[in-house]
Structure 1
Amino acid sequence: MPPNGQSFLLDPEKVAGPTRYSHARVVNPSTYHTIYVSGIAAIGPDGKYDGVTENADGTFTINVAEQTAAILRRVDSIIKGASDGKANLYNIVDAVVYILDMKTQYADMNAEWNKIWADRASAPSRATVGVKELPDPRFGVEIKATAVFEA
């Protein structure tokens, strides 16, 4: 069984499109530990914002691809730390992606996501939710995840 459980696809032969996620992941809870990762945005422990350019007029330009890549690196570090190195991004069974503008930012976020997971069978289940705002105007995307690893 893969590190993030068994993938379930409702109609695997009919699944098409550029988005990679499983419809569900099946995990035996008696043999696995669960890590619940809080919503993570593109700010590091040093206070530096990834994927943000401050404009002369005080507004911000957000690069969602850069932010998504940075968030996924942080989530990977969190999972590795919480599991004492026994797990990583590939142990994620479920994720929620919060994004400010689905029309202009979804494709960039999804392209970074697809760089990590090569196909739907290996990818976690995922919901992507368009939101009005995130906790900081420099955030374009935030990701919350649940990972499992063998006990």
Structure 2
Amino acid sequence: MSLNGQSFLLDPEKRAGPTRYSHARVVQPSTHHTVYVSGIAAVSPDGTYEGVIENADGSFTADVKQQTAAVLRRIDSIIRGASNGKANLYNVVDSTVYILDMKTQYADMNDEWNKIWTDRASAPSRATIGVRELPDPHFAVEIKVTAIFEA
């Protein structure tokens, strides 16, 4: 069993395509703590934005691939801190990903996601939602997760 519980797949023998996520995670709530991580975007504590390319005319472009990698690193740091080093991204059981454009950004977001969770058996359950806007125009992606770890 993985650190984030047991994976449940409706049809584990069927090929699922390029997306790696479990249909569900089963966690026994005996001696576990739960960490609920708020929606995190690619902004550092000092206010700088990761994955944002400033254009010559003063406008900017947000790179969803770079931002997804940055967000996942930041979430990993949050989970490690909140658990006093007892947990990390591999303890995530559930996630919600918000992106601005499913057609043009989903594949790049998913590529970065799949670098962390390399198979469906270890990946958390996930919903990916296309939204009209995020709280800051510099954001291309925001991710919210729930993680568990043993006390």
TM-score (structure 1 length as normaliser): 0.97
Q: Give the drift of 1:126.
A: 0.2
Matched residue, 1:41: 41
Deviation per residue, 1:1-31 (Å, 9 max, x gap): 2110000001101142000000000001122
Runs of 4+ more than 3 Å apart: none
What letter matches 1:22 in structure 2? S
Total equivalences in the alignment: 151
Q: Give the drift of 1:58.
A: 3.1
Q: Give 5+ residue unaligned stretches, structure 2.
A: none
Q: What pairs up with 1:105-124 in 2 under 5 angstroms?
A: 105-124=105-124
Of 114-123 and 7-16, more deviation after overlay is shown by 7-16
Matched residue, 2:87: 87
Aligned counterparts of 1:95 and 1:15: Cα–Cα separation in 2: 22
Give yes or no for the alignment of 1:130 onto 2:138. Answer: no
Deviation per residue, 1:116-139 (Å, 9 max, x gap): 001000000000000000000000
Q: Give the drift of 1:56.
A: 2.9
Aligned counterparts of 1:40 and 1:61: Cα–Cα separation in 2: 19
Matched residue, 1:73: 73
RMSD: 0.8
Q: Give 5+ residue unaligned stretches, structure 1.
A: none
Q: Give the drift of 1:80.
A: 0.2
Identical columns (%): 79
Deviation per residue, 1:56-102 (Å, 9 max, x gap): 33322111110000000000000000000000000000000000001
